[in-house]
Amino acid sequence: MNEDAFEVPERTEYRYLVQEEEEEEVQYVRHRHYISPVLVLSRRCIFLICLIVLALLILATYLGYVAQTLPPGLAQVSTDCGEFRGRHKNGAYSFKGIPYAAPPVGDLRWAPPADPVCQSTVSDAGRFRSMCAQVRPLSSSGKVMGQEDCLFINVWTPSLQPNGKLPVMVWIHGGYLHMLSGGEPGYSPTEKLAADTKMVYVSFNYRLNAFGFMALEMLREGSPRNTSGNYGFLDQIAALKWVQRNIHVFGGDPGKVTIFGQSSGGTSVWTLMMSPLAKGLFHAGVDMSGSYIYNATLEQAESDNLVFLNKTSCKDVACLRRLTVKQVLQAVPWQEYPYWAADELVDLPTKGHFIGPVAVVDGYILEAPPFEVWEKKGSYSDVPFVIGTTEQEVDFSPQFENISMWTWGDYQWFVTDKLQSFDKNLPKEALKLYPSSAHCPTKDRCPERAYTTMVSDIRVTCPNNDLARRAAGSGQRTLSTSQAIFFPCQTTGEEPSGGPNQALTRLCSYLITG
């Protein structure tokens, strides 16, 4: 056997490798049962790589969990138009500044509210957004505040359990339909209120003054209902529709919605009660110190507001929509028509001036004057309704700078001067109802108190009493399914002619019927 050869073990495969360059040495390389060191190293690397990948997956899962778990004090909900991140404090959650309609700017100025644009990312809802454009005080020289992009809604809730079926209270802010907002300090709901009462609270902004209630024939162009004005009420209806669609994700029950408001917020409650457009959007109403004196007709309001049009020098709607916020508010007929500045709402009436707030009977949102609506079955919301007024409704805004220094002689003179144009005997009868001998708990400024009470009764209490009677007496369902509780006001003087405040009733009738 050749010395360069050796025995090949049985059942083992080899191959011959002949070195090049004329080398005669023959090498046998084993193929079976041979493990390359490189292969051993590769398997170890693969094992380590797998461990690293597994660790990274675990870390990613943990980080994802941490990312989804909000820090303390934050909360998140998904509405029908995006996700919103709110706050938690004092035992309840708050979500502020959620858009419920598109910004009413450009072609949407003086138009019904449109749907908002939904965002694909999470939006912050931790603060109140801008109030609607307004001036304070109500005059051409007042300070312009807020902006047109203002249609936001706010929610406070003690629980975020979906479909928690908690009662819902929707607050409508006051301010003559001219000013304030859904986030007004001292008026808007709070986390503590929601936690203490175990109810969901909602507030919102709506268009005000000229932006929300300007009626002009020119603005009928493009209107699907051939009407103008009352845009602020359309905003309120849009907000209530948002509540119906979304309040369940805040733990609220869309079938247990109560609307409540004070001052012009109470006026709004009245309007929504009487509007066919709001039927089914709420299930109870509370009016606190509201008023229901509206312009007689849309046509009359449009005629009055030609003063506004003349001040702008605009000849078409496109021009009106190009005006700045300041230009619009400065063109409001504050001086020409005192009801725009709300002066007439806090004083005794003047004969011939029976035009109340800027809301109008437009035949669409409000089909008829309030005192007629209750006579038309089916045109109003047949739901439980609470009405409340106070004795000193207008003491926050006395009409005379020196009223706190009045004597009883001054009081009698002003009452006589204001009312004698209606009926020469009316001042005497009114003074019997509010005499100087009446009880005065403050022991000072008593003439001012008597005058303020008289104005409050005429402007707020009497109109509310009138509508309370009509609401309580309307339809067959009033006693069976609705609760109408009526407590007549008590005057301080003797009732003349043996009737229930007949002189005051006669004066109120001037306001109601014009």
Burial class of residue 437 (count of CB atoms within 10 Å of its CB; 0-12, 13-18, 19+): exposed
Q: So what's the pLDDT on residue 344?
A: 61
Three-class SS state of 168: strand
481 — pLDDT class (breaks 50, 70, 90): very low
Q: How far is CA 91 from the centre of its chain?
A: 23
For 476, list phi and psi in degrees, rounded to 5: -85, -15
C-alpha pair distances (Å), 335 with each of 137, 396, 399, 453: 13, 21, 15, 26
Do 315 and 173 lie in a common domain? Answer: yes
Q: Do residues 227 and 355 both lie within one domain?
A: yes
User: Once rounded to an integer, what is the mean pLDDT over residues 363-377?
Assistant: 82
In this structure, what are the phi and psi dihedrals at residue 215, rounded to the nearest 5 degrees?
A: -100, 125
Q: Which pLDDT band, with edges at 50, 70 and 90, does 316 fall under?
A: very high
The reply to whether 79 and 217 lie within a common domain is: yes
Contact 317, 218 (CB under 8 A): yes
In 275-390, where does DSSP find H-type helix? 298-304, 306-312, 317-322, 325-331, 338-341, 370-373
Domain endpoint, select from 388, 413, 428: 388
Q: Say whether both 64 and 80 belong to one domain.
A: no
Is the domain of 80 the same as that of 195? yes
- The pLDDT of residue 410: 94
For 285, phi and psi rounded to 5 degrees? -140, 145
> Does the pLDDT of residue 24 top 60, yes or no?
no
In a domain, 8, yes or no: no
pLDDT at residue number 508: 43
Of 408, 477, 476, the residue nearest 448 (C-alpha): 408
In the chain, % of residues over pLDDT 90: 49
Q: Which of 207-211, 430-434, 470-474 has the lowest mean pLDDT?
A: 470-474
Q: Is residue 345 part of a domain?
A: yes
Q: Is residue 395 part of a domain?
A: no
At residue 38, the pLDDT reads 53
Among candidate residues 46, 68, 90, the one where a domain is terminated: 68
- Integer angstrom CA distances of residue 401 from 100, 139, 227, 405, 448: 42, 17, 40, 9, 11
Taking all residues of the chain, what is their mean pLDDT, rounded to a whole number? Answer: 81
Peptide bond into 441 cis (omega under 30): no
State the sign of the Cα–Cα–Cα–Cα dihedral 138, 139, 145, 146: positive
Residue 229 lies in a domain: yes
Q: Residue 71: pLDDT above 90?
A: no
Co-location of 211 and 175 in the same domain: yes
Count of the separate structural domains present in the chain = 3
How high is the pLDDT of residue 380?
Answer: 85
pLDDT at 507: 45
Model confidence over 34-57: pLDDT tens digits?
555 555 557 677 777 777 878 777
pLDDT at 320 over 60: yes
Asked whether residue 177 is domain-assigned, the answer is yes
Q: Are residues 58 and 79 in the same domain?
A: no
Residues 209 and 330 in one domain: yes
Instruction: Specify the pLDDT at position 88.
Output: 97
**466, part of any domain:** no
Confidence at residue 422, expressed as pLDDT on a 0 to 100 scale: 87
Q: Is residue 105 part of a domain?
A: yes
| Of the candidate ranges 7-11, 352-356, 446-450, 501-505, the one whose mean pLDDT is the lowest | 501-505
Q: Which residue has the higher pLDDT, 346 or 96?
A: 96
Least confident span in 22-36, 46-60, 160-174, 414-428: 22-36
Give the DSSP H/E element, type plus range, for residue 78: strand 74-79
- What contacts 364, CB < 8 A, 6 or more positions away? 225, 227, 230, 277
One domain, residues 34 and 110? no
Contact by Cβ (8 Å): 77, 86: yes
Specify the pLDDT at position 292: 66
Angle subtended by helix axes 446-456 and 408-419, to nearest 10: 20
Of 171-185, 190-204, 259-273, 375-389, minimum mean pLDDT range = 375-389
Helix (H, G, I), strand (E, B) or coil at 234: helix
* Exposure letters 488-504 (e unless 16+ CB within 10 A, then b): ebebbbeebeeeebebb
Q: Is 397 left (phi over 0), alpha (psi -120 to 50) or beta?
A: beta
Query: Quick one: pLDDT band at residue 301, thresholds 50, 70, 90?
Result: confident
Q: Look at residue 342 in the predicted model and tell me its pLDDT.
A: 55
Residue after which a domain boundary falls, among 48, 68, 88: 68
Burial category of 215 from C-beta neighbours within 10 Å (exposed 0-12, middle 13-18, buried 19 and up): buried
Please check whether residues 101 and 201 belong to one and the same domain: yes
Nearest to 426 by CA among 494, 354, 506: 506
Helices (H), 275-316: 298-304, 306-312
Segments forming the whole domain that contains residue 22: 14-68
| Residues 435, 367 share a domain | no
Residue 144: strand pairing partners: 135
At CA 470, angle to CA 462 and CA 369, rounded to 5? Answer: 80
* 245-289 pLDDT tens trace: 999 999 999 999 999 999 999 999 989 999 999 999 999 999 998
> Cα dihedral angle (459, 465, 468, 469), rounded to 10 degrees?
-130
pLDDT category at 182 given cuts 50, 70, 90 is very high
Find out whether 154 and 203 touch, Cβ atoms under 8 Å: yes
Q: What global pTM score does this model have?
A: 0.78
Contact criterion met (CB below 8 Å) for 87 and 94: yes
Q: Provide the 8-state DSSP code for 360.
A: B
Residue 425 has pLDDT above 50, yes or no: yes
Evaluate if residue 80 carries a pLDDT over 90.
yes
Asked if residue 396 belongs to a domain, the reply is no
Backbone angles phi, psi at 168, to 5 degrees: -120, 130
* pLDDT digits 0-9 by tens, 430-468: 999 999 998 888 878 999 999 999 988 888 888 888 888
Instruction: Report the CATH number that the domain containing residue 139 is assigned in CATH.
Output: 3.40.50.1820
How much is the pLDDT for 7? Answer: 53
> Does residue 300 sit in the same domain as residue 354?
yes
- Both tokens of 152, joined, read 């936001």
Query: Which of the two residues, 304 and 319, has the higher pLDDT score?
Result: 319
**What pLDDT is stored for residue 235 in this prediction?**
99
